[in-house]
Amino acid sequence: MKRYTVKEIEALLPQLGADDPHWEWLRRDERKSVQALLARLDREQARRRAEKQRWEALLRWERELYAAGAARIAGIDEAGRGPLAGPVVAAAVILPAGAYLPGLDDSKRLTPAKREALFAQIEACAVAIGIGIVSAAEIDEWNIYEATRRAMAKAVENLSPPPDYLLVDAMTVPCSLPQRSLIKGDASSASIAAASVIAKVTRDRWMTELDRRYPQYGFARHMGYGTPEHLQAIRRYGVTPEHRRSFAPVREALNEHR
């Protein structure tokens, strides 16, 4: 066979099928640069196989439900239960049965850039996406647990077409649909992981917009969580309408300003 240059081999590799005779010839090539290229390719292929296996494991619950007759399975998750400011946001996502989203995981395990990229991929492939948002004032009225449940119910109501089964991350949704609550569901269900990304990115964008309205609080950096920077800003500037007055650090700051 022709003795290819390393650049030619690099261009050739993506075109080779699994049974192509070039592979045997390339494996015998003694050039270190060629062997390094093949080793890199082997590592990438192993990484892709491992990611595909991880994805198949993430579909365990969905496959069981498809086998039982469910057609549209919605994963439900939330973002923003713990912060001192901003809304709690829930998302409901119905993925198509043949979806494959490499890298999808619990949103807390992903970088902001990876979350944004997956957000776009989920939007492009999802059968339906629903968002539910409950404000800081409503959180104060109902408590954070009940506010989260209502945000999830809103997200489900906003799905079109509607689901016939719900997979929920560690909660139950107040609705009549059949559902299953999964502990750490955002790490064990593809549908819930997709919902966790949609909820997190949606809320982060909301908080970034609040940062423009209240730049002294640094919302775009801490997303409303009780960081030292945020607590110092509350003590210095007081609270905004976006702060959760029922949360102890905010309540204490209000008492100090009276």
Reported as half-sphere exposure (CB side, CA atoms, 13 A), residue 190 has a value of 28
Q: Does 186 carry a binding-site annotation?
A: no
Is 30 assigned a ligand-binding role in the annotation? no
| Contact of 234 with 85, CB cutoff 8 Å | no
Q: Which residue has the tokens 């399975």?
A: 73
Taking the CA atoms of 160, 161, 165 and 167 in sequence, report the sign of the dihedral they define: negative
3-class DSSP state of 241: coil
CA distance readout (Å), 89 to 82, 182, 203, 241: 12, 19, 6, 17
103 in Cβ contact with 114 (< 8 Å): yes
Amino acid (one-letter) located at 55: W
Q: Are 139 and 246 in contact (CB under 8 A)?
A: yes
Helices within the chain (DSSP H only): 6-12, 22-27, 32-58, 60-67, 112-125, 136-142, 144-157, 190-213, 219-222, 228-237, 248-256
Q: Is 204 annotated as a binding residue?
A: no
The DSSP output letter for 163 is P
* CB-CB contact of 67 with 73 (8 Å): no
Extract the annotated binding site.
77-78, 169
Extract the annotated binding site for a divalent metal cation.
77-78, 169
